[in-house]
Amino acid sequence: MIATPLCIPEVVLIEPKVFGDERGFFFESFNHRQFEDAIGRSVEFVQDNHSKSIKHVLRGLHFQTQQPQGKLVRVVQGEVFDVAVDLRRDSPTFGQWAGAHLSAENKHQLWVPEGFAHGFVVLSDTAEFLYKTTDYYAPQFEAAIAWNDPDIGIVWPFEGEPILSAKDSVAMSFSDYVSNK
């Protein structure tokens, strides 16, 4: 496995070692010891999630105000552009974002630590997205920041308008998040 910190060093791109031949391929999609070595700390995952979305669906930027979740994310069908936004107020990268293309073809994974908002947009006709979380989903603490907030300035790799959930279409601005804490 190759672990590469992105422009926000705590957000880590994981590239598994893939063994392939004419029959297909094999790789370890998760090895706890190697993962903890790669990110430099202990982690316990408590929940696995699986979603399927159509092209131009944008989910996020989601986070929990309490019970924050670290997420190890990957795509098993299709392709997405995945984003993490630093919401840690004491961080030198507060309000900045890091992103990566994740696909069934490249088999890359992204570690999004606790204290980050997370989102992705589907670039293929459909995509199936899997992720492990370090804490349980807590709807009473769920929140979202607008995907297109100008203060964050994410450069999403698609044109036009995304398909959003009702919740994501009324997500707060980053400045509202900053003033609410």
Active-site residues: which are they?
62, 131
Q: Could you tell me the maximum CA-CA distance found in the chain, to the nearest angstrom? A: 56
Among residues 95, 115, 81, the alpha carbon closest in space to that of 10 is found at 115
Burial of 113 (0-12, 13-18, 19+ CB in 10 A): buried
Q: What is the C-alpha to C-alpha distance for residues 56 and 165, in angstroms, rounded to an integer?
A: 12
Among residues 76, 77, 79, 120, the alpha carbon closest in space to that of 98 is found at 120
Q: What is the C-alpha to C-alpha distance for residues 80 and 100, in angstroms, rounded to an integer?
A: 8
